[in-house]
Amino acid sequence: LGVEGAKAFSAVLLENTTIVSLQLSGNEFDDHAAKYLADAITANSKVEILDLSYNMFGDKAGEVLGMAIAENIGLKELRIKWNHFHSQGAAALAKGLEANIFLKALDVSYNGFGTSGAAALGEALKANNVLEELNISNNRIMVEGALHIAAGLKANKTLKRLNMTRNPMQSEGCCGVLRALQANSGTGIKILDLPDIPVNKELAELCDAVKIRFPNLLLRHGGNTKLQRKSQSKVEL
């Protein structure tokens, strides 16, 4: 659809009173198209599910869409994976999430959030008390970024599912996330997906401790639900 298509859809959404789910993935929407879509997102309160995945949004798009997300009062689920959000644009999107009090599920996987984007997400998780599902897989989040996310998890009470797979956060980053859950007696996390990395002794012991503290938590390690340890005890990873 490109820029002209985005402009046309924006005009429709500004008048929309019936559409509640809209799939606009794979339309080569870029930063120019984003400004039209942002206007619609800001004004529209009827659309509850919006998919803008597999487009060409960059950092400028992240800035305008972030502001729109902050103002939106209708969206419950936003999918915006496989775009080109990096540090600045990623941080702007996260700030939009921080201000939004309606969004329940956000998928920003396969972008490039990196450390600065992860830091902004961590701050958003501290403030946001509505979001229940967050997918940040494959976002170049390394140890420092994972620790920023962990700081947010330590304070968050509402997030139920977090997917962090395919990020180079190493065992140190994974341990930081698990320690944050340990420290948060009121955590709502039910499903946690960690990257598929070699499990050292410290990480394995933390998994054991977290499972004891939160017996209903499903910990998954790179998509594998169980790992047999040398002690023959089973730990869900």
Q: What is the DSSP string of 37-71?
A: HHHHHHH--S--EEE--SS---HHHHHHHHHHHHH
Total residue length of the chain: 237
Q: Which two tokens stand for residue 166?
A: 């395919």
Q: Evaluate if residue 232 carries a pLDDT over 60.
A: no
Q: Evaluate if residue 237 carries a pLDDT over 80.
A: no
179 sits in the region (left: phi over 0; alpha: psi -120 to 50; else beta) called alpha
Distance (Å) of CA 138 to CA 113, 166, 180: 9, 5, 21
**Domains, in order of start, for the chain:** 22-31+51-233 (3.80.10.10)
Beta-carbon contacts of 176 under 8 Å, excluding residues fewer than 6 positions away, are: 143, 146, 147, 150
For range 183-198, the mean pLDDT: 95
User: Alpha carbon 76 to chain centroid distance?
Assistant: 13
For range 219-233, the mean pLDDT: 50
Q: Evaluate if residue 225 carries a pLDDT over 80.
A: no
Beta-carbon contacts of 231 under 8 Å, excluding residues fewer than 6 positions away, are: none
pLDDT in tens, 119-159: 999 999 999 999 999 999 999 999 999 999 999 999 999 99
What's the pLDDT score for residue 201? 93
Evaluate whether 72 touches 99 at the Cβ level (below 8 Å): no
What's the pLDDT score for residue 235? 39
pLDDT in tens, 10-41: 999 999 989 999 999 999 999 999 999 999 99
Cβ-based burial of 149 (10 A; exposed 0-12, middle 13-18, buried ≥19): buried
What's the pLDDT score for residue 221? 81
Position 100 confidence tier, pLDDT thresholds 50, 70, 90: very high
Q: Which residues make beta-bridge pairs with 22?
A: 50
Q: Evaluate if residue 222 carries a pLDDT over 50.
A: yes
Angle between helices 59-71 and 87-99 (to 10 degrees): 0
Q: Which two tokens stand for residue 62?
A: 């992240």
3-state secondary structure (DSSP) of residue 150? helix
Position 234 confidence tier, pLDDT thresholds 50, 70, 90: very low
Beta-carbon contacts of 34 under 8 Å, excluding residues fewer than 6 positions away, are: 6, 57, 60, 61, 64, 65
What's the pLDDT score for residue 230? 34
Mean pLDDT score of the chain = 92
